[in-house]
Amino acid sequence: MNETRREYIKRINIVLDFIENNLDTKLSLEYLSKKAHYSAYHFHRVFLTLVNESLNEYVNRKRIERIAAILLVKPNSSLKNLAYKYGFNSDNSFSRAFKKYYGISPTKFKSEGKELLSKIGIEPFSSEKYICSIDNIKQWTKMNAQITIKELPELKLASISNIGNFEKAGSMFQKLMEWGHQKRVLDTSNFKAITIYRDNPNITQTSKVRFSACVTISENINTDGEINQHNLKKGIYSIGHFEIKAEEISKAWKSMSIWVIENGYEFRDGDYFEMYHNDHKTHPEQKFIIDICIPLQKTENIKLGEINNLDLSKYKDNLDYHQLISYMKELRLFFQKEYDTIFKLGKIYQGAPNFSYFSLTTDELKKQKLKFVIILNHKELYFSICLSGQNKSIRKKYWKIFKGSDWNKYHLAESIDNSLSIIDQTILKNPDFNNKRNLTERIEKESLKFINDIKNILE
């Protein structure tokens, strides 16, 4: 990229950020061109070239989309107040602008907005492409998300923005990482990779959704071409932790929005973003481990730190999710210390609210692409162990071998389609977490018995 274009992008990004945060103020060409340090005439041409919309079209679209987004979640809002707040001088000018963009009046949009958005290629809020009812959404969320409410501190971010070109996100992050290492400004002690969505994809067509790839930095930076600083403000967020495939991310966002509404919380103007915890390419199932973060208003019913998707009444001894994970870490550490010359241990999987696990394998098993997995079922509260494989095809191969034999000492999975297990055994029910030493010894004994039995059969 030549230096002139870098400078153009830098200045236009500053203006786009300003517009987004000030849609309810006067945004004239003269005022915004001064923000970009260009003459009005020159600024207008640069803006049109880079954004592919005139300034006036862009501002009007953003304001109309903001109003439409509000109407989708608060259909009883006063149109007159919204129009006045977002810069329209009269009901007639607002109605004309709204109808020009959506094809119907704002009054009709209140009742028919979701159907209309579907017709122009924007999925409505309760998308039937993925889910057929609110109950199904709740069930999907329960099975796939751990949702907490937290107050996040301010984060300093270096960001690159783009409009619609989501396939470029990977190269944007790579560029930020290379730049950050070169400048020595990456916050390596608290590193986070984040995507901020500047538009609501339920309202804005995908090709026009503006987003920013961001990484945490340790100090303030000067704008460097297309790389800007963005401070993620301190605030309260509902945070959904997911381990899902790429095609499920859209569903996760919809389920989180519905969760906020169903639980009586209020959306807050702020940054809606994804935070990444892994490189999905290294995941055995190519899954993303992400947090989806939605800003909330601070109201009386907000309880910080509450885990909302777990039925804690089903945990015995008043154990919560974090205590169960804490014990799993202790158990893994025990196996690591006692059997470090025999087993190689995998990390603890904790991407689902109802269970956690870690794997054990040997050099010989690794050649066969097999592993053992110790699992804690959080809801029913029991430990089990299974023989598993590195991928579905390996699991299927060995499942067929066991199914075709007459060996029936342990339980064979009914189907391999949605199962981590090839063959498994419940090793301990109703564990007593008040006596962890005894608990660990019992799990050790039963696990080794299962492992040795399976290894003998495999040999």
Average pLDDT, the chain: 82
> What separation, in Å, do the N-terminal and C-terminal C-alpha atoms of the chain show?
60
Alpha-carbon distances of 4 from 7, 8, 42, 225, 226, rounded to whole Å: 5, 6, 14, 9, 11
pLDDT at 336 over 70: yes
Query: Encoding tokens for residue 114?
Result: 């979701």
pLDDT for res 143:
77
- For 140-156, what is each residue's pLDDT tens digit? 777 788 888 988 999 99
Pick among 1.10.10.60, 3.40.50.620, 3.20.20.80, 1.20.1630.10: CATH of 3-140: 1.10.10.60
* Measured distance CA(23)–CA(15) in Å, rounded: 12
The mean per-residue pLDDT over the stretch 248-276 comes to: 81
pLDDT for res 130:
32
Amino acid at 411: H
pLDDT for res 208:
80
Residues 6 or more apart whose CB falls under 8 angstroms from that of 356 comprise 324, 325, 328, 348, 349, 350, 375, 376, 378
Domain 142-295 has CATH 3.20.80.10: yes
Residue, of 393 and 300, whose pLDDT is higher:
393
Global pTM reads 0.49
The mean per-residue pLDDT over the stretch 290-308 comes to: 77
Alpha-carbon distances of 328 from 387, 410, 412, 445, rounded to whole Å: 19, 24, 25, 16
Backbone angles phi, psi at 175, to 5 degrees: -60, -40
pLDDT for res 311:
38
pLDDT at 133 over 50: no
CB 81 within 8 A of CB 70: no
- For 190-236, what is each residue's pLDDT tens digit? 888 999 988 766 556 777 888 999 999 999 998 888 899 999 989 99
**HEC profile of the chain:** CCHHHHHHHHHHHHHHHHHHHCCCCCCCHHHHHHHCCCCHHHHHHHHHHHHCCCHHHHHHHHHHHHHHHHHHHCCCCCHHHHHHHCCCCCHHHHHHHHHHHHCCCHHHHHHHHHHHHHHCCCCCCCCCCCCCCHHHHHHHHHHHEEEEEEEECCEEEEEEEEECCHHHHHHHHHHHHHHHHHHCCECHHHCCEEEEECCCCCCCCHHHCEEEEEEEECCCCCCECCEEEEEECCEEEEEEEEEECHHHHHHHHHHHHHHHHHCCCCECCCCEEEEECCCHHHCCCCCEEEEEEEEECCCCCCCCCCECCCCHHHCHHHCCHHHHHHHHHHHHHHHHHHCCCCCEECCCECCCCCEEEEEEECHHHHHCCEEEEEEEECCCCEEEEEEEECCHHHHHHHHHHHHCCCCCCCEECCCCCCCCCCEEEEEEECCCCCCHHHHHHHHHHHHHHHHHHHHHHHC
Amino acid at 322: H
pLDDT at 127 over 60: no
pLDDT at 312 over 50: no
* Residue 89, burial from CB neighbour count under 10 angstroms (0-12, 13-18, 19+): exposed
pLDDT at 442 over 90: yes
- Percent above pLDDT 70 for the chain: 86
Residue, of 267 and 171, whose pLDDT is higher:
171
CA 357 to centroid of chain Cα atoms: 21
pLDDT for res 310:
36
Alpha-carbon distances of 88 from 23, 57, 199, 236, 333, rounded to whole Å: 11, 14, 20, 31, 63
- Percent above pLDDT 90 for the chain: 29
pLDDT for res 314:
37
pLDDT-derived band at 108, boundaries 50, 70, 90: confident
* Measured distance CA(347)–CA(431) in Å, rounded: 22
Residue, of 318 and 364, whose pLDDT is higher:
364
The b-or-e profile of 14-41 (16+ CB within 10 A means b, else e) is bbbbebeeebeeebebeebbeebebeee
